[in-house]
Structures are given as C-alpha cells and as structure tokens.
Structure 1
Amino acid sequence: MNSIGNIDTNSNDTSNMETSEGSIPTGVIPPVVVPVMALHTTVHSNSVPHGEKPEKFIRVEFKRWHQKMLFYLTTLNLAKFLNEDPPAIQEGENNRASLIALDAWKHSDFLCKNYILNGLDNTLYNVYCSKQSAKDLWDSLERKYKTEDAGTKKFIVERFLDYKMVDSKTVISQVQNCRLYFMTFTRRICL
C-alpha cells in the first residue's frame, strides 16, 4: 500500500477489469470525452464599455474632448460621418440599392450626430441640436472652440511676454512669482 491517498500501486488486482474476447479491459479504457459544440451567437453591438465614453464638454479643454470624442466615434465605427456627405442619388433614379445605401447613411449619421450631442453640456446641446448632420455639428464645434482655444492661448502668451523682470530681486524669486501669477491667471480663464 502506498501511503499517499491509500492507493495500492503494487497490487495486480484486475478483478474490476472485465474483458470480452478481443477487447481491451474496460477498467483501462479512459472515459470518452464528447466535445460540446457551443452555439456561437455573435452579437454585434455599437456599445462601448462605459469607461471609454468621454465626459461632457463644458466649454473647457476642447482639444482634449475633441480627441476623446473622435476616438469614441471611431470605436463605434461612426467617425467617417464627420467628413462625409450623403451619397448622391441621380435625379429620377429609382435604384433600390442606392435608396437603401442612403437610408443606412442617414441612420448612421443620425447616431453619430446624437452621440456628439450627448457628449455636450445641456446648455451647448440646446445651441447645437438644430444642426442637420454630424458633419455640420462637428464643423461648427471646431470653428467655435478651436478658434476660442487659440485666442485664449495667444492671450496667455502675450501676458507672459509682458511680464517684466527687475534687477532688484533674485531671478529665482521672480520666476516663482511669475509661475504663480500665470497659474492663477490661467485657472481664472478656464473657469
């Protein structure tokens, strides 16, 4: 007897091994494993884990929000609607495939536009909800807030360049004062 697990490894006991003529003892045959085929149901969803959804744009840090929203729309496979115009259908054309393509485009554009609107603060939502397409909405936001960001940065740089150093104080203390001044100044601008 083996002391581990009380298994008798030295015994030649084959009493449990029944055999029939020309077959292998049943005690030696390993159990048959039957693979279970799972039904593969593919669920296509346009949802992205909640953590990747950008926070609402509240008129601060447009560039960061813009990049996050662009990534979010890309993961939803909707970013192309920010640059595309609807497919053109020729006058008098009654091509069923063209009409189906136009309907699909309108539906996806609607989704894209509303994902962007959902990423805006409520006050901005009310201003931009009348835009007809995702492209119009996106272009309007870029015109307004990229220009505004550039103007704010230009103003900050101008103020920084106007800061005068004086000989009566040490350079280190003046740099620290300048840094503190601009940190508080930029906080006021962002609010």
Structure 2
Amino acid sequence: MLFYLTTLNLVRFLREDPPATTEGSKAAYDAWSHRDFLCRNYVLNALDNTLYNVYSPMEMTKSLWESLEKKYKIESAGLKKFIVGQFLDFKMVDSKSVTSQVQDMQLILHDLDAEGMKLNESFKVAAVIEKLPPSWKDFKNYLKHKQKEMGLEDLILRLRIEEDN
C-alpha cells in the first residue's frame, strides 16, 4: 500500500494534518481535502470487506492509517513472541523420524529469520543438537565434543546418515 500511495503521490496524507483554514486558503484546504479523500478511499478499498465497515467511519487518512498501524504492528510483535515460544518449546521425540523433526525445526528457524530475529549458524547447530531425542544421547555427546565447526546443512546430512544406519 505504501508503494502504491507513493506512486500516486499521496503518501504524505498518511502523516499529515489538514492545513489551517483561513479566508484566503479555502482553495488550498479544499484541494488537500480532496486528495486526502482519495488517499483514504484507496486504503479502504485495499482492506478486506469484513474490515471496511470497521474503518470506513474514520474521516481522515491519518487517523485511519494510525489505527491500522497500531493494530497490525501489535499483531506482528505477538507473532514474534509466538515463534520464539515455538522455538523454545520444540522437543524431538523418539517416536518420529529425526529427519522430519529437524525439518520442522528448520521451518521455525526460517520464521525467526523472516521476523528479523537472526541467529548465527553456530547457535542454530547447537540448538538442533540439544533438541535431539533421548535415544540419540550418545550421538549428541559425540557431536558436542567434535572439534571441527559444522554448519547446519552439514549437521542435517550427518543426522540423515546416522538415522539411516
């Protein structure tokens, strides 16, 4: 939406208050009001139909935009907490294949990256090793004491080989 409004040269109405009206500035206020009306309706038009009635009573683009930002930025923060919770609670079990569980963990790690919470490679490798199921205790200890640094892809390859054996 920001890109679209920028191309229409309307993005300033997301942050701008109306100009003060004086006798000589009626034309300027009317022009501002018309462009704010256009901007507001472009934003409303992009909303899902179920949200249109919620946000359409707002008379100015600035208040509409602030309300949308407040709602969705809070949801984004909640999403980050949810993904971190998934990562911290993730446990591998003996009843499922380690390879499929590692893939599930990779998805969580990808989501963390996508939300801007970058973890370095060594941390990811150590986290996967720590979350291996109880029956993998000996292999887990072997990996922990390994001197050579290993990347996540190398670890996944080693786990697949070990699982096949």
Is TM > 0.5 for Structure 1 vs Structure 2?
yes
Residue in structure 2 matched with residue 72 of structure 1 by the alignment: 4
Residue in structure 2 matched with residue 106 of structure 1 by the alignment: 33
Give the superposition deviation at 1:87. Answer: 0.5
Structure 2: segments with no counterpart, 5+ residues: 110-165
Residue in structure 1 matched with residue 61 of structure 2 by the alignment: 134
Give the superposition deviation at 1:173. Answer: 4.9
Provide the C-alpha distance between the structure 2 equivalents of 1:170 and 1:124, rounded to a whole number of angstroms: 43
Give the superposition deviation at 1:178. Answer: 3.2
Residue in structure 1 matched with residue 138 of structure 2 by the alignment: none
Whichever of the two has the greater Rg, that structure is 1
1:129-187 Cα distance to aligned partner (Å, 9 max, x none): 0011011111100000111122022112211111124699886454124346x59xxxx
Q: 1:106 to 1:167 in 2, by over 3 A?
A: same
1:74-119 Cα distance to aligned partner (Å, 9 max, x none): 1111111001100113xxx422xx1110000000000000000000
Residues matched between the structures, number: 109
- What secondary structure does 2:23 align onto? coil
1:122 counterpart = 2:49:
yes
Provide the C-alpha distance between the structure 1 equivalents of 2:19 and 2:100, rounded to a whole number of angstroms: 63
Amino acid at match of 1:126: N
Provide the C-alpha distance between the structure 2 equivalents of 1:85 and 1:144, rounded to a whole number of angstroms: 21
RMSD: 2.6
Provide the C-alpha distance between the structure 1 equivalents of 2:15 and 2:60, rounded to a whole number of angstroms: 10
Amino acid at match of 1:134: T
Structure 1: segments with no counterpart, 5+ residues: 1-68, 184-191
Residue in structure 1 matched with residue 86 of structure 2 by the alignment: 159
* Structure 2 length-normalised TM: 0.58
Provide the C-alpha distance between the structure 1 equivalents of 2:103 and 2:86, rounded to a whole number of angstroms: 16
- What secondary structure does 1:144 align onto? helix
Provide the C-alpha distance between the structure 2 equivalents of 1:83 and 1:139, rounded to a whole number of angstroms: 8
- What secondary structure does 2:63 align onto? helix
1:86 counterpart = 2:18:
yes
1:22-81 Cα distance to aligned partner (Å, 9 max, x none): xxxxxxxxxxxxxxxxxxxxxxxxxxxxxxxxxxxxxxxxxxxxxxx0110111111110
The farther-off stretch of 120-129 and 158-167 is: 158-167
- Write out the 4+ residue segments of structure 1 that deviate beyond 3 Å after TM superposition: 165-174, 177-180
Provide the C-alpha distance between the structure 2 equivalents of 1:73 and 1:177, rounded to a whole number of angstroms: 38
Q: Identify the structure with the greater helix proportion.
A: 2
